[in-house]
């Protein structure tokens, strides 16, 4: 078998041949990468990316102010039915909840855009699961926001301007071949496996709906409990505290009401003593901050009781699609009672 | 440091820039490569560097002593050198195995002794570099080469980072002269190097690491699998281990080529073979030829009686199996291949296979398929954790499909197809490097697809190469 000592034809100009090869590879990959940008632009396999993109597009398409704006994480992306909320509340509403890693900063960015470009809402409902409050800033989520090129200049005052973050942001947005390789891999796997290995139920507006998965609920709850055994004291992360206060300050400035609630939860997790120890600290802190602002109301979980059985949930803090309406109804009932 | 880590990519780029910068000064280049090799080897545990240094000094000194000694003393020094090298290997790799087995054996005869277990980690690549250094000393003894007069050059020979931890086990006659003389980085070497690196990473990260999900799932949870799943997992492991190991070798050879070195070929389409002896001439060539030259031939090879040839084959394959690790299944795997070699010789298939290469394609394909199945069965023995597991898995082989079978089969096909397509062309063209000779119109999309596949379809975390543990 011929292996080494390859004779390259001298007349083929090896240097030119090698240079063409390397440049050609770069060009080829550039073209494929452009195609991947197009492919990942509206592909529901990467649910985090698509929830953020679709919810922001929904915000951009809003034409008039609404009575209720719902902000928060994936627990209400999959848990609150906007139409049903409107029906029960008899007011206009929009569900703009995205994902937990967007933090309160994500809520703030949406609210700020809404106020500046569409109009001031009358009420804002913020729903978050208990464990987002300690989380810190991750540029990935903000890289998915479908602003026009250069939008990050507007984020400089928010501290997003450091070089690392800007590089990461560009990689997420413009180099999907690297940053979205798992999504691309799943697209390929779906093409290979007839039974569509990776599927998410995602509505056009970015809301999601999950199936009940009692096994996953138990597993997930156990992970939460184990994690909480390590954490001794709760404290809200700097970025969450800063932007929570900014939202509350906006409520004073523009005179709208803010209702802050915890997301739904598996009752087995809620009744765990370790969890309770941590959760009471969360509630205490949130109450302390919200009490400083007259337009803000924190509704503690003992009033809301958004607790569900494992057969009604897809994991420990995400309800199954069968419970979306009861959950929405419950929230509306409490909000009506609590309205300032 | 793993080839399949970003750390290595950055490390190599830095070293390569410096290497090119020192191109006119051989000594500086060799110093650089030696330091780089030691950093590469001791990246996670610097203690093991002492072991490498010890074996380097030992073989460097004994090489010199052998060269100066008279015929009588030569043998003694060689024996001592080999003994000291092998005892080190034994201590790190085989002590616990022998201790455990000795205890079991003595228990059978009613002697109860306290087992001595050493709590030591196996130094990565120890078998590879120990054998490479022993090979050097034997070559000096046989007057095939002169001993190296420059310690730095010899130390680099014994620790050259591309091939240090998983081979190829280089011969002193091939690598040492390349270290001693100025190297010229030819454009065709760069061209070939790029292909080898891309193809090596593709085999490791895309094929081997993805097939690992099938083989690990079944082998690690074998009680819950049976029927076709066992067969699929065995085939998956057969492809996986080849792509893992040959992928490493390709990367090693590619990286070396970029620096102007030409390392020996280690795999030459080993699954396109019709007999066990052909397989061993194409699988892990650097090890099989090592055993041939330094063990099988000194034992007498096939020059004596038929039975002595069989004995020599069995001893060589037994030790070849043991080389892989201190486990009975490796020994059994070696013996299985020894037995295959003997059976093929006994029924005269070795000759008929080599003489009948002009037979019809169908017969050739049947012979290859049979050999592939025999190799795969051998790798089932190789992969199991215990003899009990082996028996259970063999007894569980059947034709029953499970809910996982379709997914396993799809994964096996999807991962193996690109390998099969490229290798069938390599086989037909009788040229492993055929891609480097094609026009850029073909090479650009093929190389780009390989690169994109590596980025998109790599299995995630950096997974250690299988042969690192040997």
Tell me whether residues A4 and B451 touch, CB distance under 8 A.
no
Q: How confident is the model at residue B167 (pLDDT cuts 50, 70, 90)?
A: confident
Q: Is B227 helix (H, G, I), strand (E, B) or coil?
A: strand
The mean pLDDT value for B82-93 works out to 91
More confident residue, B211 or A14: B211
**Local confidence band at B14 (pLDDT 50, 70, 90 cut-offs):** very high
Helix axes B126-141, B71-89, angle to 10 degrees: 180
pLDDT value at B197 more than 80 = yes
Query: Do B36 and B26 meet the contact criterion of CB atoms below 8 Å apart?
Result: no
Q: Residue B277 and residue B272: Cα distance in Å, rounded? A: 12
At residue B72 the predicted structure's pLDDT band, cuts being 50, 70 and 90, is confident
DSSP at B116 = P
Please pick, among B104, B284, B324, B458, the residue that the annotation labels catalytic. B324
Test mutation, A3, A34, A39, A180, chain B, max B CBs within 10 A: A3
Q: What is the pLDDT of residue B393?
A: 93
Average pLDDT rounded to a whole number, residues B10-32: 93
User: CB distance from A34 to chain B under 8 Å?
Assistant: no
Calculate mean pLDDT across residues B302-309. 86
Q: Mean pLDDT score of chain B, rounded to an integer? A: 89
pLDDT tens per residue, range A174-231: 888 888 888 788 887 777 766 555 555 777 777 888 888 888 899 999 999 888 877 7
pLDDT digits over A285-335, tens only?
999 999 999 999 999 988 888 999 999 998 999 999 899 999 999 999 999
> pLDDT band at A8, cuts 50/70/90?
very low
Beta bridge partners of A72: A127
pLDDT band at residue B96 using 50, 70 and 90 as cut-offs: confident
Cβ-nearest to A25 among B262, B407, B451:
B451
At residue B201, the pLDDT reads: 94
Of B187, B269, B407, the CB nearest to A18: B187
Q: What is the pLDDT of residue B463?
A: 63
Query: pLDDT at residue A4 above 50?
Result: no
For residue B86, pLDDT over 90 is answered with yes
Cα–Cα distance measured from residue B164 to residue B37, given in angstroms and rounded to the nearest whole number = 8
Chain B residues with CB within 8 Å of chain A CB: 187-188, 190-192, 194, 262, 265, 268-269, 407, 410, 414, 426, 430-433, 436-437, 440, 443-445, 447-448, 451-452, 455-458
* Mean pLDDT, residues B302-324 taken together: 90
Question: Could you confirm whether B284 is annotated as catalytic?
Answer: no
Interface test with A, best of B184, B202, B440, B453 (most A CBs within 10 A): B440
**A2 to B431: CB separation less than 8 angstroms, yes or no:** yes
What does the pLDDT read at residue B104? Answer: 79
Can you tell me the mean pLDDT for B198-226?
A: 92
**Mean pLDDT confidence for A44-56:** 81
Chain B residues near residue A181 by CB distance under 8 angstroms = 455-458
DSSP letter assigned to residue B102: H
Average pLDDT, chain A: 85
| Core vs surface per residue A206-234: b (16+ CB within 10 A) or e | bbbbbebbeebbbebbeebbeebeeeeeb
| Residue A249 CB neighbour total at 10 angstroms | 13
Q: What is the 3-state secondary structure (H, E, C) of chain A?
A: CECCCCCCCHHHCHHHHHHHHHHHHHHHHHHHHHHHHHHHHCCCCCHHHHHHHHHHHHHHHCCCCCCEEEEECHHHHCCCCHHHHHHHHCCCEEECCCCHHHHHHHHHHHHHHHHHHCCCCCEEEEEECHHHCCCCCCHHHHHCCCCCCCCHHHHHHHCCCCHHHHHHHHHHHHCHHHHCHHHHHHHHHHHHCCCCCCCCCECCCCCECCCCCHHHHHHHHHHHHHHHHHCCCCCCCHHHHHHHHHHHHHHHHHCCEEEEEECCEEHHHHCCHHHHHHHHHHHHHHHHHHCCCCCEEEECHHHHCCEECHHHEEECCEECHHHHHHHHHHHHHHHHHHCC
Assess whether pLDDT exceeds 90 at residue B304: no
CATH architecture, range A51-139+203-338:
3-Layer(aba) Sandwich (3.40)
Q: Does B361 or A291 have the greater pLDDT score?
A: A291
Residue A172 pLDDT: 84
Distance of CA B333 to CAs B86, B126, B448, Å? 22, 21, 39
């Amino acid at each position: 078998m011929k292996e080494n000592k390859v004779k390259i034809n001298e007349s083929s100009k090896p240097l030119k041949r090698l240079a063409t090869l390397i440049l050609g590879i770069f060009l080829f990959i550039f073209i494929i990468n452009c195609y991947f940008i197009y492919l990942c632009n509206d592909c529901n396999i990467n649910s985090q990316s698509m929830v953020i993109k679709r919810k922001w597009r929904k915000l951009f398409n809003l034409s008039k102010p609404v009575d209720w704006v719902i902000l928060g994480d994936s627990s209400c992306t999959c848990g609150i039915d906007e139409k049903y909320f409107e029906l029960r509340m008899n007011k206009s509403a929009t569900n703009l909840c995205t994902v937990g890693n967007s933090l309160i900063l994500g809520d703030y960015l949406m609210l700020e855009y809404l106020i500046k470009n569409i109009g001031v809402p009358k009420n804002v409902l913020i729903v978050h699961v208990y464990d987002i409050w300690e989380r810190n800033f991750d540029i990935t989520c903000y890289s998915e926001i479908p602003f026009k090129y250069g939008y990050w200049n507007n984020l400089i005052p928010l501290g997003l301007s450091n070089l690392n973050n800007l590089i990461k942001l560009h990689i997420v947005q413009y180099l999907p071949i690297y940053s979205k390789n798992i999504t691309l891999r799943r697209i390929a796997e779906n093409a290979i496996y007839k039974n569509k290995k990776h599927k998410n139920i995602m509505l056009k507006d970015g809301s999601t709906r999950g199936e009940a998965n009692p096994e996953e609920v138990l597993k997930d709850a156990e992970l939460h409990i184990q994690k909480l055994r390590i954490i001794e004291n709760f404290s809200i992360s700097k970025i969450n505290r800063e932007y929570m206060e900014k939202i509350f300050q906006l409520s004073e400035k523009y005179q709208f009401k803010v209702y802050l609630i915890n997301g739904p939860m598996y009752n087995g997790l809620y009744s765990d003593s370790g969890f309770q120890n941590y959760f009471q600290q969360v509630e205490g802190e949130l109450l302390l901050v919200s009490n400083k602002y007259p337009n803000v109301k924190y509704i503690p979980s003992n009033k809301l009781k958004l607790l569900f059985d494992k057969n009604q949930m897809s994991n420990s803090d995400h309800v199954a699609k069968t419970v979306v309406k009861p959950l929405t109804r419950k929230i509306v009932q409490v909000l009506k009672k609590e309205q300032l | 440091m793993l080839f399949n880590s970003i750390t290595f990519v950055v490390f190599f780029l830095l070293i390569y820039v410096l290497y090119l910068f020192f191109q006119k000064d051989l000594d500086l280049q060799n110093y650089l490569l030696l330091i780089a090799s030691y950093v590469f080897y001791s990246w996670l545990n610097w203690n093991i560097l002492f072991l490498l240094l010890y074996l380097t000094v030992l073989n460097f000194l004994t090489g010199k002593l052998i060269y100066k000694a008279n015929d009588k003393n030569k043998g003694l020094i060689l024996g001592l050198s080999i003994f000291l090298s092998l005892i080190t290997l034994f201590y790190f790799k085989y002590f616990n195995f022998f201790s455990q087995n000795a205890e079991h054996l003595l228990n059978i005869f009613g002697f109860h002794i306290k087992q001595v277990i050493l709590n030591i980690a196996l130094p990565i690549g120890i078998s590879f570099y120990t054998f490479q250094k022993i090979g050097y000393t034997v070559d000096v003894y046989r007057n095939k080469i002169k001993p190296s007069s420059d310690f730095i050059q010899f130390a680099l020979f014994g620790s050259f980072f591309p091939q240090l931890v998983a081979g190829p086990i280089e011969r002193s006659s091939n690598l040492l002269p390349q270290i001693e003389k100025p190297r010229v980085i030819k454009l065709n070497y760069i061209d070939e190097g790029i292909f080898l690196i891309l193809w090596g990473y593709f085999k490791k990260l895309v094929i081997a690491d993805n097939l690992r999900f099938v083989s690990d799932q079944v082998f690690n949870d074998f009680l819950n699998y049976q029927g076709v799943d066992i067969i699929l997992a065995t085939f998956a492991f057969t492809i996986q281990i080849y792509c893992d190991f040959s992928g490493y070798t390709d990367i090693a050879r590619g990286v070396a080529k970029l620096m102007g070195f030409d390392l020996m070929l280690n795999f030459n389409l080993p699954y396109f073979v019709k007999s066990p002896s052909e397989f061993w001439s194409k699988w892990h060539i650097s090890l099989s030829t090592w055993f041939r030259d330094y063990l099988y031939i000194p034992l007498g090879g096939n020059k004596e009686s038929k039975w002595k040839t069989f004995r020599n084959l069995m001893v060589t394959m037994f030790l070849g199996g043991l080389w892989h690790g201190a486990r009975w299944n490796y020994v059994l795997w070696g013996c299985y291949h020894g037995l295959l070699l003997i059976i093929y010789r006994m029924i005269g298939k070795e000759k008929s296979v080599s003489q009948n290469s002009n037979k019809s394609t169908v017969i050739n394909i049947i012979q290859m398929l049979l050999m592939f199945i025999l190799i795969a069965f051998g790798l089932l023995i190789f992969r199991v954790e215990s003899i009990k597991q082996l028996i259970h898995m063999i007894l569980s082989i059947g034709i029953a499909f499970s809910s996982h079978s379709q997914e396993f089969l799809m994964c096996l096909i999807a991962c193996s197809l690109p390998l099969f397509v490229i290798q069938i062309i390599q086989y037909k063209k009788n040229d492993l490097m055929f891609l480097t000779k094609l026009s850029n119109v073909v090479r650009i999309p093929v190389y780009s697809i390989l690169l994109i596949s590596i980025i998109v379809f790599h299995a995630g975390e950096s997974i250690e190469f299988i042969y690192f543990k040997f």
